[in-house]
Structure formats: C-alpha cells, structure tokens
C-alpha cells in the first residue's frame, strides 16, 4: 500500500462514517482524520478488523481484535500485525451484527515497535466520545448492543412464522 490510493479502503471508511451516523454517532471528524492521515497503517487499523468482524459474524463467529502492531521490518519495509480471537456462537444461525463495536475498533490504540521497544500510540488521531452521540436520535445500538438483541428477539418469531407458513403452503399444493 505504500503511497497508493486504495479506493476499497477509502470507500469502506466512508461507509463506516455513514454507519456511525445511522447509529447516532457523529464520527465525521474522526473518520476524516483517518482518511487524511499520512500513514496507511491507520486506515488499515480500522479496515482489516472491520472486514474480519463482518465476515466472522456472517458465519456465526464472535470476533475480538487484539491491539494492532506496526513496525519497520527488514530493509525498513513497513509491517503490521493483526490478532483476532474468534469464538463460534451456537446461539443463533441467523445473521447478526458483529459483537465488537465500531467504537472499540476506532478507539483502540496501536502498538508501535521501534528499536526493540514497544509503546501504545494514537498517532494524534481523535477518538469517538460519548459526546459525539446525537441525542435527538434513539438509534444508539453502537454503544448499547443489548438493544439490538432485544429487537432481534422480537423479529425472529415473525420470521420463523413466515417460514413455517411458506413451507406448509408448498406442501399442500
């Protein structure tokens, strides 16, 4: 990714900004800071965990992301290390939101390794704060995932009933 414009990552970050706005969080300033930052690593810090979380939730895994590590490898090649902790979720077969929240991914610090020493860094990037929540909207799923589970529980019986009725109609024909 050295010095290249990767449209996939930029578009995904813009989609994340839109997703945050839907949930009542004004992440515009934060996402803009990531898009404008000089280091590609900061964009990958959000993109890769977001991507893995989306894929994992689609196949019923809960995913937690470890702190992202970046460093200069051999010949000063920029390197990154991602750690993901996946656990299969037996509770539902229906698609659901990833358990790891966007605010956790965005707000997590990175670990920079220089000359064998490591330290947590934010690279001057802002974090999402509770004050960024738009109180006019009631969509605060991002910071309260239990509300999402309650809504899912209300919708699932209707989905199951529709599937049952559809199956019975096919059998009677």
E strand residue ranges, the chain: 61-65, 68-72, 78-81, 84-88, 110-114, 117-121
pTM of the predicted model as reported, rounded to 2 decimal places: 0.70
Number of other CB atoms surrounding residue 157 within 10 Å: 9
pLDDT, tens digit, 9 for 90 and up, residues 121-169: 999 999 887 665 554 443 434 444 444 443 333 444 444 444 444 444 4
pLDDT, tens digit, 9 for 90 and up, residues 86-118: 998 887 777 777 888 888 899 999 999 998 899
Nearest Cα to Cα of residue 134 among 2, 12, 28, 14: 28
Domain boundaries, the chain: 7-172
**DSSP class of 74:** G
Q: Hey, what are 116's tokens?
A: 């064998």
Number of other CB atoms surrounding residue 4 within 10 Å: 7
pLDDT, tens digit, 9 for 90 and up, residues 2-55: 445 668 999 999 999 998 888 788 889 999 999 999 999 999 999 999 999 999
| Ramachandran sector of residue 3 (left: φ over 0; alpha: ψ -120 to 50; beta: rest) | left
Q: Hey, what are 77's tokens?
A: 């090649």
* Angle value at C-alpha 23, between 12 and 111, nearest 5 degrees: 55
């Amino acid at each position: 990714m050295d010095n290249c414009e990767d449209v996939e990552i930029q578009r995904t970050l813009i989609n994340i900004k839109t997703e945050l706005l839907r949930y009542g969080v004004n992440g515009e300033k934060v996402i803009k800071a990531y898009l404008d930052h000089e280091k590609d690593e900061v964009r990958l810090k959000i993109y890769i965990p977001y991507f893995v979380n989306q894929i994992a939730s689609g196949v019923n895994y809960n995913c937690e992301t470890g702190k992202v590590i970046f460093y200069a490898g051999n010949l000063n090649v920029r390197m990154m290390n991602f750690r993901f902790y996946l656990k299969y979720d037996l509770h539902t077969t229906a698609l659901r939101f990833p358990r790891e929240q966007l605010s956790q991914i965005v707000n997590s610090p990175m670990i920079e390794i220089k000359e064998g020493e490591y330290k947590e860094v934010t690279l001057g990037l802002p974090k999402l704060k509770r004050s960024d929540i738009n109180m006019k909207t009631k969509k605060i799923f991002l910071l309260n995932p239990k509300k999402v589970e309650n809504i899912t529980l209300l919708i699932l019986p209707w989905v199951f009933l529709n599937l049952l009725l559809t199956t019975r109609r096919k059998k009677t024909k």
